[in-house]
Chains A and B, each alone.
Chain A
Amino acid sequence: SAVISQKPSRDICQRGTSLTIQCQVDSQVTMMFWYRQQPGQSLTLIATANQGSEATYESGFVIDKFPISRPNLTFSTLTVSNMSPEDSSIYLCSVEYRNEQYFGPGTRLTVT
């Protein structure tokens, strides 16, 4: 299996600021994904981040708001920019490893 860690585990931020979330996996993986889970809701895919290429964003998500970096096969970051209270969610990193998808523990973000 692949073990994923995320930093920070939670944060409280003021509106208008930005937060960068880190995702580290213990194995080299090609595909990484970022999801958002708003309170009481299911998971929504934000983007797919493959090493060596630009991230692919889902409908409703744009690079200016959620820039993603993927510098190597074990690491990725997601930045939530110019935050508003509507960005309060759990943000989860996920990787594809040996035909299974593994999820990190999530980052709980509260924007005040």
Chain B
Amino acid sequence: DAKTTQPNSMESNEEEPVHLPCNHSTISGTDYIHWYRQLPSQGPEYVIHGLTSNVNNRMASLAIAEDRKSSTLILHRATLRDAAVYYCILRGPGANNLFFGTGTRLTVIP
């Protein structure tokens, strides 16, 4: 699996937007970019995924660079419940598992 690079930690003020970056310079043309998050004492939770175009859902937006070597997860208004570890994962065809890496720990400041 191609690897991703994320900052270890980030902080955000409550009700402000958060941009979580991810670099994936070795991404292949068939790899989807997935984001998951893991809240304290819970299992990982799917957030969003995309291939080439930007994506929006009720939880977040995903902005994908034109060369697909990086992406950004956007939380439009951070809440205290968004404090979690966010994982950026590449998933290609035939990949059965998710390689989680160490993720970005997001702290939301009231």
A binds B: no
Chain A interfacial positions (CB closer than 8 Å to B): none
